[in-house]
Amino acid sequence: MFSTLHTNNAPESIVRLLDMGMDPFNFADAILCILAQRLAHTFCKNCKQTYHPSKDHYHELVREYGPEDFSRHAKIPYTDELLLYRPIGCHLCQNSGYRGRMALHELLMGTEEIKRLIQNKAKVEAIRTQAIKDGMTTLKQDGIEKVLFGHLDLIQVRKVCIK
């Protein structure tokens, strides 16, 4: 079965389904994965401009990503050559600097540990911690990677990611 549910992130979807009365043992047996998706506004490609971010801004991105995960997954060091983009505004984007949207994703895999947490009706935080341990990149982490790739800025990531 493939189903769509409106929640803030993948771990919350599990807890929501359990709250809705789904049997935790059947659910744990059946789950393959949960993909969460949020749409974020991207820069207008016509007017976005590169700039060299300050060390403070770089560290803000690392902090929001989670420093440990950042050194494990993102691995983009701060150098003099590091460039990010910023919105400017032009006739194509009604001077907003943003045009179009892009999906941020997080994929939670139904590992043995996750199945056990579901059977025990664990809290969102416990499921989230385990999912990250199992290799999940969170919505916000995916967003920050897309900031580093020049698609959008942290402001837009924060707008759609609670955590």
Cβ-count burial of 6 within 10 angstroms (0-12 exposed, 13-18 middle, 19+ buried)?
exposed
For Zn ion, the binding residue among 10, 14, 28, 47 (CB under 5 A) is 47
Among 5, 25, 39, 46, binds Zn ion (CB under 5 A): 46
Half-sphere exposure for 122 (CA within 13 Å, toward CB):
17
Residues 6+ apart with CB under 8 A from 71: none
Question: Residue 25 is encoded by which pair of tokens?
Answer: 């043992």
- Rg of the Cα atoms in the chain: 18
Contact pick of 28, 93, 131, 136 for Zn ion (by CB under 5 A): 93
Q: Does 152 bind Zn ion (CB under 5 A)?
A: no
Minimum distance from residue 125 beta carbon to Zn ion (Å): 40
Q: Which stretch binds Zn ion (CB under 5 A): 21-29, 43-51, 144-152, 155-163?
A: 43-51
Q: Which is nearer to Zn ion, 11 or 97 (CB)?
A: 97
Q: Is 90 in the site for Zn ion (CB under 5 A)?
A: yes
Is the CB of residue 25 less than 8 Å from the CB of residue 119?
yes
49 binds Zn ion (CB under 5 A): no
In the complex, the residues that contact Zn ion under the rule CB under 5 A are: 44, 46-47, 90, 92-93
